[in-house]
Amino acid sequence: MILFFEEKYIDLGARASYISYAFTNFSKNIDLKEMEFFYKETNSWEAIENVVSNSYKLGIVRYESDYDEFYRMTYESKGLSHEKIADFNYVLIMSKDSKIANKKEIRFSDLEDLIQISHGDPYVPLKNDSGGEFDASGARMNKVIYLFERGSQFDLLRDNRETFMWVSPIPQELLDSNNLVQRRCIDSQTLYRDVLIWRKEYRLSSLDRQFIKELRASEKEILEMSEKY
C-alpha cells in the first residue's frame, strides 16, 4: 500500500534550468517521512489547463511580456491566482569551443550557419512572406534539431560545437559542469515573463511556500549572474 503524507503536483509550462535548480534545492530540504511529488515540464497552455483541471496544484507559465494583459484576462476567466517570478531576455548557450563563444558581440547573422537546439512541443514557428522560419527571438532558423525531452540538450550542446540554444539564464554551476558558456545576442531584445499560477480556491501550503522561496532565490542568483554577460 502507498501512503501519501503530502501530494504535490507542479507543472512547468516553462522549461528553465533555474526552475529545476530551485526544485533540486527544495528537494534537499524536505523533512517528511513519506512523500510523492509530480514535476512535469510542458508548454504554457498545457500548464494552465492542468492547473485548471485540478490535476496540478502549481504551474509556471512563460510568455512575452507584451502579452501580459491577455494572460491576466486568461487567469481571471479560468479562476487562477498568479504571481510574477521573473522578467528576462533569452540568452544563448553553446560549447566553450563554439566558433562564436569568444566573439565580442553576437548578432543574429552569426547564428545562421549553426544548428539551433529547440524544444519541439511548445514551439510554434513564425513564417515570413518568403516562407522562412523564425524562432521566438526573431532569428532566422536554417538548421534546427527539435527535442521533446530535456535530457539530450546538454549532450548535444557540449559535444557538438556547431549547436546553440536560446534559454532563460542558467546557473553557472550547470554551465561549468557541461563545458558551456552563456552569451547575450545584441539583436535579441524581447522581454519574457515567468508567472506562477494556482487555483484561487487553493491555499498555498508551507511546502508550496518553501518551493516558492527556493524559486525566488534561484531566480535572483541567475539573473544577477546574467547581467555580467
* CATH architecture of residue range(s) 91-183: 3-Layer(aba) Sandwich (3.40)
- State pLDDT tens for residues 42-67: 788 888 998 998 778 889 998 999 99
Asked if the domains 7-88+191-226 and 91-183 are classified in one and the same CATH topology, the answer is yes
Closest CA to 165 of 216, 86, 111: 111
Q: Which residues pair with 194 in a beta bridge?
A: 62, 86
The Cα–Cα gap between 79 and 12 comes to: 18
- State pLDDT tens for residues 61-83: 989 999 999 999 999 999 999 99
Closest CA to 84 of 109, 101, 112, 65: 65
CB 195 within 8 A of CB 71: yes
- State pLDDT tens for residues 143-174: 888 887 767 888 999 999 999 999 888 888 88
In the chain, domain spans? 7-88+191-226, 91-183
The Cα–Cα gap between 156 and 145 comes to: 10
Assigned CATH topology for domain 7-88+191-226: D-Maltodextrin-Binding Protein; domain 2 (3.40.190)
Q: What is the mean pLDDT of the chain?
A: 81
Strand order across the 144-147 sheet? 144-147, 115-119, 163-167, 91-95, 180-183
